[in-house]
Structure 1
Amino acid sequence: MKEFDYENLNNLIITPEMAKKIGQIGELRGQLKNIQQQNPTMLDRLIEVAKIQSTDSSNRIEGIYTSNTRLRQLVEKKTMPHNRSEEEISGYRDVLDLIHQQYAYIPISDSTILTMHKRLFEFTASTWGGHFKDIDNQIITTFADGTSEVRFNPAPAFITPTLIDNLCNNYQKAVDKEEIPLLLLSGAFVFDFVSIHPFRDGNGRMSRLLMLLTLYQIGYGIGCYISIESLIEKTKTNYYDTLKDSSVGWNENTNSYTPFLNYFLSVILQAYRELAQRVKPDETCKVPVKALILDALRSELKPLAKRELVGLIPNYSQITIERELNALIKEQEVEKVGGGRSTKYILNNKK
């Protein structure tokens, strides 16, 4: 049976690159320790935006989505779901809220995982919510051109409950000992959970919720302000590639955690860097919102959706950003591309 070697993570060697990332994350975490005192209003907006982006991105990775308007209404609990996608989005929203509010009191255990999964599907007619898989499954990667491949064959259904129980116990023991950097333990736990693939559906979303929960509990609450799920969506190809690379030899306990952990650390580091960039104290508030919109479009070097602009400019409300964005379009400084939920904005270089 698969074993979870959380004493040394299959003889993991922390590379200089990984050590550097851990150090940089720690440094930024220290600098932002008293972030709550800097600008409460801006932080409240960051929290609001992060919840919307996390709910959106984690579901979009799995091909589940709705319109931007409906998404916001669902996250703010101002409407009820109208279809299966919105039912699953609503479930994710509720589990996400639970983690944000109660993470300190949620144990890492098989019963916790089953409860979270049940809530994830609470709005749907599915009968498997809160139950481990009863049939064997495969981890399949689907590519942009519609083709797919089997990335990994997880352990059979009949030993899944035992594997999850062993995973949770070994992870918690390792966290208590703190002999391995806690960030690496969090990343390894998420990877092993995905590799077990314990449910018929919802494994990817559950892994990202568990990522947020374990990070919170080891003192890295960055997911409150910056959507880690959104960063993963933007680097989805690398996400799947590193999962695949670290899966080789998993059933035989010979897999290397290094590819996935290196990716995991990059995502967390990027999250802290984004937060440091967005929480520039008072001087940012003195810059006109039009200038901030134009600067965001220049620096990102790609078309941006409205929700992305709102996330990049937390010191102004969404209403203000929308008003000034429309003004920039009328002034032909900015133009729209696409339509509907795919609408994005770019600089008008023809002017």
Structure 2
Amino acid sequence: MKKFDYTTLNNLQLDNEAINKLTTIYQLRGETSSYQIDYREELEKLVAVAKIQSTDASNRIEGIFTTDNRLNKIMMNKVQPYNQNEQEIAGYRDVLNLIHENYNYMQISKNTILTMHSRLFKYAGDNWGGKFKDINNKIIAKYEDGHEEVRFNPPEAYLVPELITQLSEQYERSNHQRAINPLVLSAAFVFDFVSIHPFRDGNGRMSQLLMLLTMYQLGFEVGKYISLEKIIEESKADYYQALAASSVGWNENQNDYLPFINYYLGIVVRAYRELIERMGLVHTQQKELTAEDLVLKTLRKQLRPLSKAELVELIPRYSQISIQRALHDLKQKNKIQMIGGGRSTKYIAI
């Protein structure tokens, strides 16, 4: 049976890449430590944006989506989900809110994991929500061109309850002892959870929620303001590659965690840098500038086409409605050009 060595992580040796990323993360966390005081209002807006992006991105990776308008209304509890996709989106919203509001009380345990999964599928009507798989499954990698590959054969279903119990206990014990860097430990935990693949469905989404939860508990709250799930979606090929590399020898307790750890730490570095970029723009934006001024200034500074969603992220001072109105007025004044259509619509300064 699979054993979890959370004392040495299979004699893990961090390379220079991992060490440099860890150093960078702690430095960036220090740079952002005063943001709660300096940018309280802007951060509150970023939280709302990050929740929408996280819910959208994590479900989109699994081919689950709805329109932007419906997504926003579901996130604000203004409509009831009317199909399977929207039911699963609403479930992710609820678990995300649970973590944001109660992470300090959510011990990493089999019960917590089952409860999170139950809430994830609360609206879907499936009778296996909150229950471990009762049939064997495979880990399938889904790629941008639509093809799928079997990446890994996880443990058989009857082994799952004991494996999740052992994994949770080993993580909590090692985290308490602080023998291993906590972020490295979090990465190993998320990887092992995915490798167990304990549920019929929702394993990828659960792993991202557990990433957010463990990071919160360890004092790395960047996922509150920047969507970790969106960054993972944008680097999906690298994600699958890292999972595959670290899976070799997993069942024999000989796998190398390092490829996935380096990917994981890279996600955290990028999230902190994006947060600093957002607040840097806020700091340089003058109070007297209108939404139109800031949209135009941001488009010129970024030197690339930006979507409405990206502009909302970069200009947290103004609401989505204000940004949308500014884009409409700037287009009427021929100061910006619209590129593409529908969900892919972007804007560029003329």
Q: What are the equivalent positions in structure 2 for 1:135-154 lying under 5 Å apart? A: 135-154=135-154
**Cα RMSD, aligned residues only:** 1.6
What is residue 31 of structure 2 aligned with on the other side?
31
Deviations 1:170-229 (A, max 9, x none): 011110011111000011111110010000000000000000000000111111111111
SS in 2 for 1:7: coil
State the shift of 1:309 in Å. 1.8
State the shift of 1:329 in Å. 2.1
Higher mean C-alpha displacement, 308-317 vs 237-246:
308-317
Number of positions where the alignment pairs a residue of Structure 1 with one of Structure 2: 348
Q: What are the equivalent positions in structure 2 for 1:50-129 lying under 5 Å apart? A: 50-129=50-129
CA contact (8 A) 1:303 1:344 kept: no
Q: What are the equivalent positions in structure 2 for 1:1-351 lying under 5 Å apart? A: 1-280=1-280, 282-286=283-287, 287-294=289-296, 296-297=298-299, 303-340=305-342, 342-347=343-348
TM (norm. structure 2) is 0.95
SS in 2 for 1:314: coil
Whole-angstrom CA distance in 2 between matches of 1:241 and 1:295: 38
Whole-angstrom CA distance in 2 between matches of 1:31 and 1:345: 31
Whole-angstrom CA distance in 1 between matches of 2:234 and 2:336: 23
State the shift of 1:148 in Å. 1.4
Higher mean C-alpha displacement, 281-290 vs 155-164:
281-290
State the shift of 1:338 in Å. 3.7
Matched letter for residue 327 of structure 2: L
State the shift of 1:15 in Å. 1.1
Whole-angstrom CA distance in 1 between matches of 2:214 and 2:166: 16
CA contact (8 A) 1:336 1:343 kept: no
TM (norm. structure 1) is 0.95
Whole-angstrom CA distance in 2 between matches of 1:301 and 1:243: 34
Q: 1:167 and 1:298, CA in 2 relative to 1: closer, same or farther beyond 3 A?
A: farther
Whole-angstrom CA distance in 1 between matches of 2:182 and 2:337: 45
Ranges in structure 1 where 5+ consecutive residues have no aligned partner: none
Q: 1:347 and 1:114, CA in 2 relative to 1: closer, same or farther beyond 3 A?
A: same
SS in 2 for 1:279: helix
Q: 1:187 and 1:292, CA in 2 relative to 1: closer, same or farther beyond 3 A?
A: farther
SS in 1 for 2:100: helix
Ranges in structure 2 where 5+ consecutive residues have no aligned partner: none
State the shift of 1:149 in Å. 1.0
Higher mean C-alpha displacement, 13-22 vs 272-281:
272-281
Deviations 1:279-332 (A, max 9, x none): 135432445544543454456665433222211221222122111111222233
Whole-angstrom CA distance in 1 between matches of 2:231 and 2:55: 12
